[in-house]
Amino acid sequence: MLLVDYTNQLKEDLQHLKDLFEQSSPPEDLRDKDYFEMVKEKTLPVYELLSKWEELALKIIKESKISVHPNQIVSTRENMELLLMHSFYIDVRRRRYMELNRSVLYVFDQLLRAVE
């Protein structure tokens, strides 16, 4: 099923972002255009996948009446987008980052359990 594949790929991306956050330093200049372009290039596929995932998840929730609320899907997309930026710019406290990470992971796992 496509939703399971999307969700599993996003879980891998989430782990990669967490590793990046924990092992990287913030950029020296937040206005560095080259760094911005590199971030944009690396995050674009995740943004695109996240958009497809959200659309498909909301459709399946509406049709199947599974135990995940549509607001959770929307919030998860938003939180994942925050994590994408925080992972490269390291501009949030570790505790806040981990809360967002756990929240996203929780909904991914909840969704996987509901559709399997």
Tens of pLDDT, residue by residue over 21-73, are 999 988 989 889 999 999 999 999 999 999 999 999 999 999 887 889 999 99
Which residue, 2, 5, 17, is CA-closest to 101? Answer: 17
Phi, psi dihedral angles at 25 (to 5 degrees)? -110, 155
Confidence (pTM): 0.92
C-beta separation of 3 from 60 below 8 A:
yes
Mean pLDDT, the chain, as a whole number?
A: 94
Q: Alpha carbon of 24 to those of 4, 21, 87, 99: distances in Å?
A: 30, 6, 8, 19
Q: How far is it, in rounded angstroms, from Cα 111 to Cα 28?
A: 38
Confidence at residue 1, expressed as pLDDT on a 0 to 100 scale: 67
* Homologous superfamily of 2-115: YppE-like (1.20.120.440)
Confidence at residue 65, expressed as pLDDT on a 0 to 100 scale: 72
Domain residue spans of the chain: 2-115
